[in-house]
Every structure is written in C-alpha cells, then in structure tokens.
Amino acid sequence: MKNIFKTMLGAGAIMLAFSSCKNDSYQMGEITAPSDLVLTATVVGKDATHPNGDSTGNVKITLTGKNGISYRVDWDASNAEDFEVLPAGNTATHRYTKNGLFTYTITGKAYGKGGLVTSTVTQTVTVYTKFEPSPALVTNLTNDADKTWNVDKSVAGHMGVGPWSGSSGPDWWSAGVNEKVACCNCFYTASYKFSKVGTGYTLQVTTPDGAFTKTGSLTTLPGIPATGGEACYTYGGGTSAFELTPASSGIAASNSTQTVIKLAGTSTFIGYGAVLKDYEILNITPTTMYLRVQGTETGNAWYLKLKAQ
C-alpha cells in the first residue's frame, strides 16, 4: 500500500511539472516592418557656385522612419556590400576619397523588432573630390622621380596586426627583428618602386622570391593558389597606377599624414598581399615609411614599416 501511494504521488508530481511547462508561453508581440524610411543626403559645401560640394568629398546622411530599431548605411552600392551601423541619431558623415566627379548610390537600411524585418531606401549623390597631397610627402615617397622601398626587417614591429576600427595600433601581434626570414624571406626581398610620372604615379612590384600573402579569397593577386596558408608564393610581380587620396579611417592627424596610397587593379601590393588596396601613410621620412592597411580578414588592420634603398 505504501509503494502504491508513493507511485501515485510521483505520477502526480510529474503531471504537475508537465502541466507547469505546458502553461509557459513566450511571445515577441507583433512584428512590424519599418516604414516611411527617408534617407537625407547633404553634400558638404554644396551651393549655387559649388553644385557638387566644396571638394572635400564629405557627405552627411540622416535616416529616419517608423518602427526602426536600428539603422545601417552602405555608402557605395558599386562596391561589395558593406553596411555600417549608424550611431545614435542615425546620422553620419562619410568622405569619398576618389579624386574627380563621381556619382554614388547610398543605401540605407532599417531593422525592425528582433532584426527579423527590414526596409531599404537608396539615394544617389554626385560628389566632387579634389585632394592635393603634401609636396614634402610626394618627395619623400618618390624622390620626385622614383624611389624603391623594402620592408625593414631590422626593426621590431616591421609587421603588426590590430583592430581596423580605432587608432590603437598593432595591439594583437607585432613582429620581432628578422622574424619572417626563416619561413618567408620573400617578405623582405620584394621591392616597391614608387614613381612620379607627369601628374600621376605608378608602382612597380618586383618579387624575386615570390609574394608574401595568403590564398584563395584572402588575396587578390592573380595566379596565387586557391588553398594554402600564409607563405611565399611564386609571383611575377606587376605594375599599376596609384593615387594619393585623403584618408577616411578616422585616425587623428597627429597619428597619420591623412594620405592614402590607393593602388589600381589587383596585380600590385605593398609588403603583404592584402585584400584591400588603400595603404594609409601614418608616417614618412626620406628613409622610412609606416603604413596601415585593412588586412585579409575583415576587421584586421596590418601595419608595415619600410625603408628606402
């Protein structure tokens, strides 16, 4: 009798527990898509005399709408999709760095509750950008004719990795003197000849022992294998034009020249076969150059120290 009572008591407890679980209910509420999304784009310095702005390339945008929880913006639909989160107020300013008069398509996106629904709006802007690099910087880089550079293996930190956002430097890793000699000496034997040709510039990359890079989608260099780790890979070098454009990384002028070496095409690189081709000049003298470039993996910044031959 005692055992039967225990059994009945246990069964009742299980049924009560089951009943309790069964009664729990969670609801997100009504999911409403953002609506009435408006993107307002203002080209800085635009007026009757300067219909495409003041030549800085700055454009200020604001996104407004109903039922939006968060907002993001892609500044140039012609490039790979890259939406950045807008800060509080849903307002941001972007600097277009390509010299000349160009039209860009800006895409704004609003995210609803739980990020489950979105609304999108686009607007085109025509912006004029004109950037004149410092004459001293041009002289240091090209000798006003041509100058050849190599990665400087004799100094610590000649290569480093840190976060792309912010200006904290190579916080995650920094190379020691001669660190890559044993595994990847091509990193040091490759040379980079910067030339001033009329009003333009060219870069000639010579790689007697191959290119120091990664593989597959982690490099843009043609002919590099589809798989493999970071190493030296046979590469015949290349030549391309480049521009000197204003920096848009947000690094303070006290820590940067605010000037970028923007390589054309996919056949050239500086030091490391990075995916992107915008190398910000943090510091340059007649004999030394310190660069920062977004690396192979999204979110990484690579730092490179070079010396003039």
Q: Of 97, 129, 161, which residue constitutes the final position of a domain?
A: 129
Looking at the structure, tell me whether residues 150 and 272 fall in a common domain.
yes
Domain assignment present for residue 111? The answer is yes
What is the span of the domain harbouring residue 95?
35-129
Domain assignment present for residue 106? The answer is yes
Question: Using one digit for the tens of pLDDT, what is the confidence trace for 56-66?
Answer: 999 999 999 99
Domain containing residue 89: CATH number: 2.60.40.10
Looking at the structure, tell me whether residues 53 and 173 fall in a common domain.
no
Mean per-residue pLDDT for 255-273? 94
Residue 128 pLDDT grade (very low, low, confident, very high; cuts 50, 70, 90): very high
Domain assignment present for residue 1? The answer is no
Closest among 270, 140, 289, 302 to 206, alpha carbons compared: 270
User: DSSP 3-state assignment of 238?
Assistant: strand
* Rounded-to-10 torsion of CA 47, 52, 56, 59: 90
Domain assignment present for residue 276? The answer is yes
Domain assignment present for residue 28? The answer is no
Question: Using one digit for the tens of pLDDT, what is the confidence trace for 208-255?
Answer: 999 999 999 889 899 999 999 999 999 999 999 999 998 888 888 899
Looking at the structure, tell me whether residues 139 and 123 fall in a common domain.
no
Mean per-residue pLDDT for 258-287? 94
Domain containing residue 171: CATH number: 2.40.128
Question: Using one digit for the tens of pLDDT, what is the confidence trace for 145-178?
Answer: 999 999 999 999 999 999 987 777 999 999 999 9
Residue 6 pLDDT grade (very low, low, confident, very high; cuts 50, 70, 90): very low
DSSP-derived letter for residue 80 is: S
In b/e form, how buried is each residue of 218-231, taking b as 16+ CB within 10 angstroms? bbbbeebeeeeebb
Q: How much of the chain, in percent, has pLDDT values that exceed 90? A: 71
Q: Of 79, 103, 129, which residue constitutes the final position of a domain?
A: 129
Looking at the structure, tell me whether residues 83 and 189 fall in a common domain.
no
pLDDT at residue 291 greater than cutoff 50: yes
User: DSSP 3-state assignment of 93?
Assistant: strand
Q: Where are the alpha helices (DSSP H) in 175-279?
A: 181-184, 186-189
